[in-house]
Amino acid sequence: MGKKSRQRMMITVLMGMTLFVGILSISVGSVNIGMLNVVKIMLGMDVGNPVYSSIVLDIRFPRLLAAVIGGAALSVSGLLLQIFFRNPIVEPYVLGISSGASLFVGVAIMGGYRFGLSGIGPLYLFLGAFAGAMLVMIAVCCAAKKVHHITTLLIIGVMAGFICSAGTSMLTSFADKEQIANYVTWTLGSFSGFSWMQVKFLFFLNAPILIAVFLLSKPLNAMLFGENYALSMGLNIKRFRMAIIVIASILTAGITAFAGPISFIGLAVPHIVRILFHSSDNRVLIPAVIVLGALMTAVCDFCARMLLSPVELPLSAITSLIGAPIVIYLLVTKRSEL
Amino acid sequence: MNQVIVAENLDVGYERKKVVENVNINAMKGQMICLLGPNGAGKTTILRTLTGLLAPLKGTVSINGNDVEHIGKDALAKELAVVLTELLSLGYLTVFEIAAMGRYPHTNYFGKLSEYDIKIVRDALTAVDAYRLKDRCFSELSDGEKQKVMIARALVQQPKLIVLDEPTSHLDVKHKVEVIKILQKLCAEKGITVILSLHDIDLAIKACQIVLLVRKGEIVAEGTPEEVILDGTIQRLYDIEGAHYNELMGSLEFDNTETPEFFVTGGDGTGAGIYRALSRAGIGMVCGILHTNDIDSYIGKTLNCRIIEENAFEAIGDRSFAEAKAVIEGISCLVDTGFPLRHGNHRNLELLKYGIAEGKTVFSLCKKENLFARYGPWANRIEVCGSVCQLIQRMKQEKGRGKNDDYWNIADEG
């Protein structure tokens, strides 16, 4: 069982790296705090500068947690969709789920004031994003019943994404400048300005779902063989299909609502994990995808903040710049499959 | 013997499109049943219905007395396993993991394998001779190995019935034989019932106890291969054009449509290969005189050549001899395939000599040194060809020379 212990070791290493990147990312910025001080503050020790505590605990730590939770959620969502559609290039962003969420968030941000709401609460944003994500996913799945070819389905998803984007751009032509600016900033993706309340919301939304996904490892493994085989092995396909749709939508919607549509994490992370762990067994993949998703998103967020500091780069630009070459490299050199 | 799967008055198809109607199958324990028929006849649809992947339009399928539609999917998975034609991309799953997936209906919520489960997987992989591949990835395997692993996976489900959709397509002969032998062993030793669809007529006839012929939406025949596969059955089943199938020989031969310009002897199997080679080269011929039980006669007929025949176990008689002479008169060349001379076919040599006497060219595939013993004084009038290739070259040169058009017009009308 050398493979198993090696996999366990790798997960531990990835967790360690996440912790390191996390502390590093909290320690640097417009104010450099130092990693030791960060650790001290986290452990509740006094570092002699109340501003440091405030920066760490109120600004940078919630931001990091959001990146970690969001990254894990997006990656797992990507993994689920790749298995569900039996296609290695599927992710929430590609399938139009993110676009659906964007449209409804757009409605919320740009139309919210019009409906007489003074501010946009996290629940409201989330409900908008969730409704959008679900709508696209259900549309794609309705189409799935009619078409047998999986590539067709993928194209339908992409088209649904275009339709949502069209809706969004029409919406922007009616909105006023300030709202558009708000919305555009949101679409570029960013973890900045996360409040503890939003982090808690994300955590309590995603944690139970991630556990649930892990509990679905066995049917997910069966799904690798395709629906017919899965059915012949005794899997209740209809219920399972519904579960995957709901789960992938919630995971995508939660993070998209607050941080905007973030590309490539959901696509790249499952591939990297498969190749690193040399496994397609979801009992191994799911925990590893959660950890690597968190790590990669934390790294991307760190880069977005620090590369051209003090200017903060859009997160999606960084995830694409880092994720796309990695995927190409892995595909070219290692021939990754599902 | 007890019934494992029973299908009664089954109509199968999709929504409003009926594909095959009135299917009746009664499979006993340990039987191997094969659906045979052309592409698009509905074999896959029947198999999908039998396995509960598709609801029947009419009628019922019951496995061990339980209606497939009402039995729970997990309960069904312990009775029935499938091997489908779908191309799988299973990434990094190892052969062992793939086979172990067959434990799905038997394991707990996480699919944790017990010692017993592992033993079952090991036994199944050993049964298909794939245990040595256990740590390999699926994508690294050959098509034949993949198919064996998928059979092992089905076996791991410990079903009473395995349904396979075209398990031998894409496989080379060696793996076809291996796969069929594995299935036969499962039937004989484990008492598993196997229902499969095949494209290989040969394999179906030789390996399966029962064949069902499916053609254009109906089951045209059902029974043992000996009962069902008669002269011309396959020709009709597949609507073969431009070739003929000989059920007895299990051989498919392309039709020779050329006008016969040569008389080619034969006998004791010396003719079959030459007839095929000449047909391939586009040379028409009349073959004779062959005994009705000679393999040359079967192959010649399947090639659509005219054969002058004599009853089996009888010496060549005057009737057939006269017929052959008439043919020789109308052509310019004869071929001696080097058939062994015995009491029964001695007159074939007479025919060749008659040809020489009539001034025809006679080619022989005999060895030069044997020529004198065979033809005596006529030997120096014979043109010896060292190989079939050389023969064909010479025949092509002779082709069309001295052709008697009147004779062939009459022959065509006859």
Same structural domain, B193 and B263: no
The answer on pLDDT for B413 being more than 50 is: no
Mean pLDDT over A299-323 rounds to: 88
Ranking A330-334, B59-63, B151-155 by mean pLDDT, the lowest is A330-334
Report whether pLDDT(A338) > 60: no
Q: Is the ipTM of this complex over 0.90?
A: no
Please write the tens of the pLDDT for every residue from B300-341. 999 999 999 999 999 999 999 999 999 999 998 999 999 999
Structure confidence at residue A24 (pLDDT): 94
Of B1, B401, B27, nearest to B212 by C-alpha is B27
User: How far is C-alpha B159 from the chain's CA centre?
Assistant: 29
Section B105-121 average pLDDT: 91
Q: Is A224 left (phi over 0), alpha (psi -120 to 50) or beta?
A: alpha
Same domain? B116 vs B202: yes
Cβ of B101 under 8 Å from any chain A Cβ?
yes
The domain tally of chain B equals: 2
Question: Quick one: B135 and B213 in the same domain?
Answer: yes
pLDDT tens figures, A147-195: 666 677 778 888 888 888 898 888 888 777 877 887 887 788 888 888 8
Distances A102 to A122, A126, A162, A167, A188 between C-alpha atoms, Å: 15, 11, 11, 10, 11
Closest to B279 in 3D by CA, of B373, B384, B388? B388
pLDDT score, position B129? 93
Partner-chain residue, chosen from A234, A281, A338, that has the shortest CB–CB distance to B104? A234
Contact, B253 vs B220, CB < 8 A? Answer: no
Better-scored residue on pLDDT, A204 or A88? A204
Claim to verify: residue B217 and residue B250 sit in the same structural domain = no
> Which residue type is seen at B312?
A
The reply to whether B148 and B219 lie within a common domain is yes
Q: Inform me whether the C-beta atom of residue B118 falls under 8 Å from chain A C-beta atoms.
A: no
pLDDT of res. B412: 43
CATH of the domain at A153: 1.10.3470.10
B211-224 pLDDT tens trace: 999 998 889 999 99
Shared domain for B220 and B133, answered yes or no, is yes
pLDDT for the residue B341: 93
Query: What is the arithmetic mean of pLDDT over B107-133?
Result: 93
> Hey, how many other C-beta atoms are within 10 angstroms of the C-beta on A330?
17
> Which of B178, B206, B239 is where one domain is finished?
B239
Chain B within 8 Å of A225 (Cβ-Cβ)?
yes
CATH of the domain at B45: 3.40.50.300
Of the partner residues A224, A277, A278, the one whose CB lies closest to the CB of residue B90: A224
Task: Return the residue in A216, A229, A284 with the most chain B beta carbons within 10 A, the one to mutate for interface testing.
Answer: A229
Q: A92-111, pLDDT tens digit by residue?
A: 877 778 888 888 888 877 77
Q: Does B47 touch chain A (CB under 8 A)?
A: no
Q: Among the three residues B173, B204, B239, which one is the final residue of a domain in this structure?
A: B239
Residue A281 sits at the chain B interface (C-beta within 8 Å): yes
Same domain for B328 and B194: no
For chain A, how big is the Rg over CA atoms in Å?
Answer: 20
Pairing of strands B66-67, B17-28: unpaired
The last residue of one of the domains, among B194, B216, B239, is B239
Q: Do B319 and B222 reside in the same domain of the chain?
A: no
Paired tokens of A91: 């992710």
pLDDT band (50, 70, 90) for residue B397: confident
- Asked if the model's pLDDT at residue B405 lies above 50, the reply is no
A–B interface: beta-carbon pairs under 8 A: 84
**Of the candidates B52, B73, B88, which has its C-beta nearest A225's C-beta?**
B88
Co-location of B198 and B280 in the same domain: no
Q: Which positions 75-134 of A are in contact with B (Cβ < 8 Å)? A: 86
pLDDT at A74: 94
B269 with B201, same domain?
A: no
Q: pLDDT by residue (tens digit) across B171-205?
A: 999 999 999 999 999 999 999 999 999 988 888 98
Say if residue B385's pLDDT is above 90. yes
Res A121: pLDDT: 65
Shared-domain flag, residues B169 and B285: no
Q: H-helix or E-strand containing B382?
A: none
* Residues B117 and B164 occupy one common structural domain: yes
pLDDT at B87 over 90: no
As for how many domains chain A has, the answer is 1
Determine contact: B82 vs chain A, CB below 8 A.
yes
- Give the pLDDT score at B185: 94
Instruction: Quote the minimal CA–CA distance from B73 to chain A in Å.
Output: 5
Distance CA A322, CA A320 (A): 5
Residues of the domain holding A219 = 2-334
| Residue A49 in this model has a pLDDT that exceeds 70 | yes
Domain range holding B315?
246-413
Percent of chain B with pLDDT strictly greater than 90: 74
